Amino acid sequence: MIKFIATNKWFHNHHVLRNINLEISKGEVIVICGPSGAGKSTLLRTINKLESIDDGEIIVDGMYLSDPKTDLTALRAEIGMVFQHFNLYPHKTALKNITLAPRKVRGLGKKQATEKALKLLERVGLTHRRDAFPVQLSGGEQQRVAIARSLAMEPKIMLFDEPTSALDPELINEVLDVMVSLAKEGMTMVVVTHEIGFAQKVADRVVFMDDGEIIETGIPPDIFVNPQHPRTRNFMSSVFHIPVFGETEEEK
Amino acid sequence: MITGVKITLILLVSTTISSLLLGTVIAIMRVSRIKVLRAFGTLYVEIFRNIPGLFWLLFFYFVFPDLLPPGLAIKLNTYTYYPVVAGIVGLTVDNASYVSDILRSGRLAIPHGQREAAISTGLGRVQQYIHVLLPQMFRAALPPLGTRMVHNFKNTSLCMAITAPEITWATQQIESLTFRGIEATAVATLFYILLAGVMVSIIITLEKVLKIDISSISHSETAS
Ligand SMILES: Nc1ncnc2c1ncn2[C@@H]1O[C@H](COP(=O)(O)OP(=O)(O)O)[C@@H](O)[C@H]1O
Ligand SMILES: [Mg+2]
């Protein structure tokens, strides 16, 4: 579904993606983690070409992103994206946020688009908030509307960039629950997150990145509990406070 | 004097609309990724904002027809309403430069995430502007835009210099023909205050109607 082949990217002189090779199959749920500045967001954003790459190739749903003949707008319509800061349109109600793209891109009529949006609002538990403006919604509610907005396009792939890290702790689960149910329905998902519980529950693979590189990839227990690479080990013990084989400095 | 009010109204309404349209186009050019468009937009603003509006009125009235083929020039010069047309064009190009500047700031105030969200749902360039960016640009720009439009309204009086028969011109005429300058000035003052009052209340109403959105724009900025 998504394939990175020897992908490199620089911001000026800064090498932010270093020889990325990664293949993601249909229906897979991939969690990407790693320290701040590792290049996680950049990697995610290359999938729908919000960022372009300087070297290598990315193939999404059979389309080559470097090919000038690839219809990017059409491809982007098939890839949903959820942002850390929600990015709802502030001048539109929850309902109108959701119906905009189906109407303008898919050409749905007002009635059809509204029906679909109401189903999605029900799915994320926000039917009663349909006429609220983003400013009137809590962070958790905004993020659920944002997920519904992406789903309204019936995407083949969903990308999440730290969807819960701007939320108060008590609002995180309502968003994760929606994501878990999506994963269980077989959506192809690439999720940048440090929510270890979410990863343990639904991730097929966890990708650990540092300094623009994929350091290691594996099933959740392998990466979180039993990482092979010292950089992964350091990160896990410092961020998740998981004792790794009693090898951290304090425990010696 | 009634004709004066009518002409002032025509100048006001048509230049408000046309400078808004032209200003929007120039503003979009100035933030475009295409270098030529950006350069053109910047050039436009530099030229039209740094030269007084009165100059452009005189230019379009006296000079512009001479630049055209002689046949067309004669037609324009003998056209009864040419002063009004030249007035509309002159005020529009002048006011549009300010409008584009105000809208450009409005555009720069929109967080990057707005456009990214629109792109990632598959909206095309034009749709991004129509449905996501322009509505937010206008909301953010509303207060300074209102002030600008009142300014433009006052500038309509400059059209007397090219004999467009608006309120100020009519006042002058009455004064020099009947020597009843004080009465004429009093009536003109009344009309100006009335029209400005109507404009301000329209602007205030617009701000109230759109208030919820403005507060949410500033909210999302502090959130990110
Ligand atoms: N638009 C940009 N211009 C220049 N440098 C950038 C830009 N975006 C990100 N970077 C840099 O690229 C690196 C990777 O960023 P990012 O992908 O956001 O990391 P992460 O999401 O893992 O925290 C960082 O060092 C960041 O400063
Ligand atoms: Mg990031």
Q: B209: Cβ–Cβ under 8 A, 6 or more apart, which residues?
A: none
Q: A62: Cβ–Cβ under 8 A, 6 or more apart, which residues?
A: none
Q: Where are the alpha helices (DSSP H) in chain B?
A: 2-30, 35-49, 53-58, 64-67, 70-78, 82-108, 112-120, 125-127, 134-155, 167-178, 181-209, 211-223
Give the Å distance between the CA of B112 and the centre of ligand 2. 14
ipTM of predicted assembly, 2 dp? 0.90
With pLDDT > 90 as the criterion, what percentage of chain A qualifies? 92
So what's the pLDDT on residue B2?
A: 84
Q: Where are the alpha helices (DSSP H) in chain A?
A: 40-47, 72-77, 94-104, 110-123, 139-151, 169-184, 196-202, 220-224, 230-240
Q: Count of alpha carbons within 13 Å of B123, Cβ hemisphere only?
A: 26
Task: Give residue B69's pLDDT band: very low, low, confident or very high (50, 70, 90).
Answer: confident
Atom nearest to A39 CA in ligand 1: 17
Give the Å distance between the CA of A42 and the centre of ligand 2. 7
B111, B120, B216 ranked by CB distance to A48: nearest: B120
Residue in this structure with the two tokens 């029900």, named with its chain if needed: A122
What is the number of CB-based contacts under 8 A between chain A and chain B? 93
Would you say residue B6 has pLDDT above 80?
yes
Q: How far apart are CA A230 and CA A36, in angstroms?
A: 17
B65-to-A219, B15, B96 alpha-carbon distances in Å: 77, 20, 22
* Section B142-158 average pLDDT: 93
Q: How far apart are CA A195 and CA B154, in angstroms?
A: 60
Would you say residue B217 has pLDDT above 80?
no
Give the Å distance between the CA of A111 and the centre of ligand 1. 41
Task: Give residue A54's pLDDT band: very low, low, confident or very high (50, 70, 90).
Answer: very high
- Residue B212 CB neighbour total at 10 angstroms: 15
* Section B195-204 average pLDDT: 93
Distance from CA of B17 to the nearest CA of A (A): 23
Give chain A's mean pLDDT: 93
Which residues sit with Cβ closer than 5 angstroms to ligand 2, an ion?
Answer: A 41
So what's the pLDDT on residue B74?
A: 86
* Section A202-211 average pLDDT: 96
Coil, helix or strand for A159? strand
Ordered structural domains, chain B, with CATH: 2-223 (1.10.3720.10)
Atom nearest to A161 CA in ligand 1: 21
Would you say residue A57 has pLDDT above 70?
yes
DSSP state at residue B34: S
So what's the pLDDT on residue B212?
A: 55
CB contacts of A116 in chain B (<8 Å) are: none
Question: Is A121 in contact with B200 (CB distance < 8 Å)?
Answer: no
pLDDT in tens, B29-48: 999 999 999 999 999 999 99
B123, B139, B212 ranked by CB distance to A104: nearest: B123
pTM (2 decimals)?
0.88
Residue in this structure with the two tokens 């608006």, named with its chain if needed: B166
Distance from CA of A248 to the nearest CA of B (A): 35
| Range name among A57-66, A118-127, B66-75 with the lowest pLDDT average | B66-75
Q: How far apart are CA A106 and CA A100, in angstroms?
A: 10
Q: How far apart are CA B190 and CA A138, in angstroms?
A: 50
Q: How far apart are CA B37 and CA B43, in angstroms?
A: 10
- Residue A74 CB neighbour total at 10 angstroms: 12
